[in-house]
Amino acid sequence: MLMKALRVGLGQLIVVGDLLTRGGKLKRSPEAQAGVEQQARGLSLYQFHACPFCVKTRRTLHKLNVPVVLRDAKNDEQHRQALLNEGGRVKVPCLRIEENGMTTWMYESKVIIAYLNKRFAA
């Protein structure tokens, strides 16, 4: 029980630290931002709120100004089951990419961040 309290406390500390130190968003022309928003419609991030790797991934989304639907795989049983049944395992962060009628489940924060930078960086 002590370990769980410690883990929850540290997780919340990470979240607060992220909010306090988060930089600004990437500025784009309205047309370019509309294009990014269109491309991001097929993306959703399965995550736990206080997971450090999820925080790192959300920071990148914020920095790149990419609006992605966040799915809470810890507290929402429906999202957790989708992650398990469709993605193959309950591991976060996981980026679900729906393009051209195909769905790809991308795990590992480093891989997701590299993908986002390649696709959305100016």
Residue 12 confidence (pLDDT) above 90: no
Whether 13 maps to a domain, the answer reads yes
Residue 27 included in any domain: no
Q: Which domain holds residue 112?
A: 2-20+40-120
| pLDDT tens profile 46-103 | 999 989 999 999 999 999 999 999 999 999 999 999 999 999 999 999 999 999 999 9
Contact 37, 67 (CB under 8 A): yes
Domain assignment of residue 34, yes or no: no
> What is the average pLDDT across 18-36?
89
State how beta strands 94-99 and 43-47 pair: antiparallel
pTM of this structure? 0.88
User: Is the pLDDT at 115 greater than 90, yes or no?
Assistant: yes
CATH number for the domain harbouring residue 74: 3.40.30.10
Note the pLDDT of residue 20. 79
Q: Residues 6 or more apart from 87 whose CB is under 8 A from it?
A: 46, 94, 96, 105, 107
Q: What is the pLDDT of residue 15?
A: 77
Q: Which of 41, 113, 48, 40 is nearest to 80 (CA)?
A: 48
Other C-beta atoms within 10 Å of 40: how many?
19
